[in-house]
């Protein structure tokens, strides 16, 4: 006997338009600029729009427009029973143009400028000043290309030596030269090597150098008695050496104006006017582009070729979806920012961290009637320029904690208070997590020890043992 089974399931399948829209939503202004340039390169149905005076209107232009309308009408008549219809596909092609800026706030804000060079370019320029050989430059390029945002080498030099078929000692010697470039310590393989590079040239017998060279692990883990015994020094001398080490830079890749990524380009600006807050999207960096009408005219010459019509339709649809996705991103950014301002009205009235109220992605999603995942994409990595500073959109979101008074308090407020307590503690007897729980309870914040540990980790504050002074 044959047994038949039937399984029902509900599956959500995204359309190509939805996938494109989701990808566009998560891009910040810099990534969006690059995405537009890439799309202009691969899709002939898009073109850059020449800058023209909006008020300019000549007889020649009017005639050209009438001719375009006639051709579009002709196309509709001749392709009425085909899959390709200009009017149906695009409507008015003039509507599918992206111009920058779309609108300006009543009061212009000074926007940060982008860096003119990256960290890699700066390092290579400095290396060229050392008069290297061509082979040494190639090795340096390989090493510098594998340095992360914090300034550390992410690849073993022996792998570069094997890949380029050169002696490992040559690679190490070039790496040492790179570590002495500005900022000093860049390209180190670990924190110890980074700090030692910064004290290169200092008396090898100095206490600071000896600590970094021979007792680094003990120093990092606050095992001071072992250091005192091993180096036969006093507490005062160790304290002085520790203070000198504290002045060194543990993340040389983040120092100074060395990377384009160090510059924040706000995606939004918000200014207060007599009628409330005015929110605008920063499109000043985006190229002005739209539908390539010449491309459509060219397709008319091949209107009887089914293969050409199919190709043209595909490219025009892709162009339309791309422009629609950018416009949707524009509108969604504004709607989300307006909703944030309305929810966090206390903060925007008098900006102070304590004025932030608990707010999660769901709150804004319900306000603008969109999915939580969409709100997450729109707010992640996006910044707004306000009259009193630049803020990441994610910074306005926080979970709530019930205080002793029954009032919901943002966990941002609690984390701020936690940091204040730790900053003010006696470094000879730092507070453990249990003690921090009790001190927060005095302020009316009843939270568990594991929550304190979580907030401490988020603030990048080590445990009490590692905060203990000498």
Give the chain's domains with CATH numbers.
Answer: 16-48+62-113+264-397 (no CATH), 119-254 (no CATH), 400-467 (1.10.10.60)
Tokens of 371: 């999915």
pLDDT for position 57: 43
pTM for the full predicted model? 0.55
Average pLDDT, stretch 97-101? 53
Q: Are strands 389-392 and 383-386 parallel, antiparallel or unpaired?
A: antiparallel
Cis peptide before 443, with omega less than 30 degrees from 0?
Answer: no
Return d(Cα 54, Cα 189) in angstroms, integer: 57
Tell me: the pLDDT tens digits for 22-76?
A: 888 888 888 888 888 888 888 888 888 765 544 444 444 555 555 555 554 454 4
Tokens of 345: 């009205």
CA atoms in the 13 A half-sphere facing the CB of 212: 26
Average pLDDT, stretch 230-253? 89
**Per-residue CA distances from 8 to 13, 141, 234 (Å):** 15, 56, 76
- What residue ranges in 216-374 does DSSP mark as E strands? 268-273, 276-281, 289-291
Average pLDDT, rounded, for the chain: 78
Tell me: the pLDDT tens digits for 308-339?
A: 778 888 888 888 889 899 999 999 999 999 99
**Per-residue CA distances from 302 to 189, 306, 313, 314 (Å):** 61, 8, 13, 15
Burial label for 316, CB within 10 Å (0-12, 13-18, 19+), is buried
pLDDT for position 285: 80
pLDDT for position 17: 73
User: Residue 112: pLDDT above 80?
Assistant: no
Q: Locate tokens 């005192």: which residue?
A: 228
pLDDT for position 66: 55
Q: Are strands 289-291 and 97-98 parallel, antiparallel or unpaired?
A: antiparallel
Nearest alpha-carbon partner for 147 in 167, 127, 162, 166: 127
């Amino acid at each position: 006997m044959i047994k038949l089974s039937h399984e029902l399931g509900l599956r959500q399948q995204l359309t190509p338009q939805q996938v494109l829209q989701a990808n566009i939503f998560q891009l910040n202004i810099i990534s969006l600029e690059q995405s537009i340039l890439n799309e202009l390169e691969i899709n002939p149905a898009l073109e850059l729009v020449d800058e023209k005076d909006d008020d300019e209107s000549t007889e020649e232009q009017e005639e050209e427009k009438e001719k375009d309308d006639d051709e579009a009408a002709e196309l509709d008549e001749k392709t009425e029973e085909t899959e390709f219809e200009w009017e149906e596909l695009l409507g008015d092609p003039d509507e599918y143009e992206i111009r920058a800026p779309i609108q300006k706030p009543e009061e212009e804000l000074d926007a940060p400028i982008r860096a003119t060079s990256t960290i890699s370019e700066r390092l290579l320029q400095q290396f060229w000043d050392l008069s290297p050989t061509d082979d040494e430059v190639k090795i340096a390029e390989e090493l510098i290309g594998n340095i992360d945002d914090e300034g550390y080498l992410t690849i073993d030099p022996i792998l570069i030596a094997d890949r380029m078929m050169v002696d490992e000692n040559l690679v190490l010697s070039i790496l040492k030269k790179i570590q002495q470039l500005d900022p000093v310590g860049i390209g180190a393989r670990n924190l110890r090597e980074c700090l030692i590079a910064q004290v290169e040239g200092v008396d090898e017998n100095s206490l600071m150098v000896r600590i970094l060279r021979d007792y680094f692990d003990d120093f990092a883990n606050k095992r001071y008695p072992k250091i005192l015994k091993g180096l036969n020094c006093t507490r005062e001398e160790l304290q002085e050496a520790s203070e000198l080490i504290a002045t060194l830079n543990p993340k040389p890749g983040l120092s100074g104006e060395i990377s384009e990524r160090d510059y924040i380009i706000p995606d939004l600006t918000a200014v207060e006017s007599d009628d409330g807050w005015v929110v605008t999207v920063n499109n000043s960096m985006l190229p002005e582009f739209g539908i390539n009408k010449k491309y459509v005219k060219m397709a008319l010459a091949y209107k009887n070729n089914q293969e050409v019509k199919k190709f043209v339709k595909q490219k025009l649809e892709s162009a339309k979806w791309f422009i629609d996705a950018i416009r949707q991103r524009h509108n969604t950014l504004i709607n989300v920012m307006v909703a944030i301002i309305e929810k966090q009205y206390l903060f925007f009235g008098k900006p102070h961290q304590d004025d932030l109220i608990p707010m999660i992605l769901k709150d804004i999603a319900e306000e603008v009637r969109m999915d939580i995942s969409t709100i997450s994409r729109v707010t992640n990595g996006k910044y707004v320029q306000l009259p009193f500073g630049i803020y990441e959109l994610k910074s306005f979101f926080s979970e709530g904690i019930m205080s002793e008074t029954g009032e919901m308090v943002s966990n941002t407020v609690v984390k701020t208070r936690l940091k204040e307590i730790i900053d003010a503690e006696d470094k000879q007897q730092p507070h453990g997590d249990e003690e921090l729980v009790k001190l927060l309870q005095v302020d009316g914040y009843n939270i568990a020890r594991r929550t304190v540990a979580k907030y401490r980790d988020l603030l990048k504050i080590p445990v009490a043992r590692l905060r203990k002074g000498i």
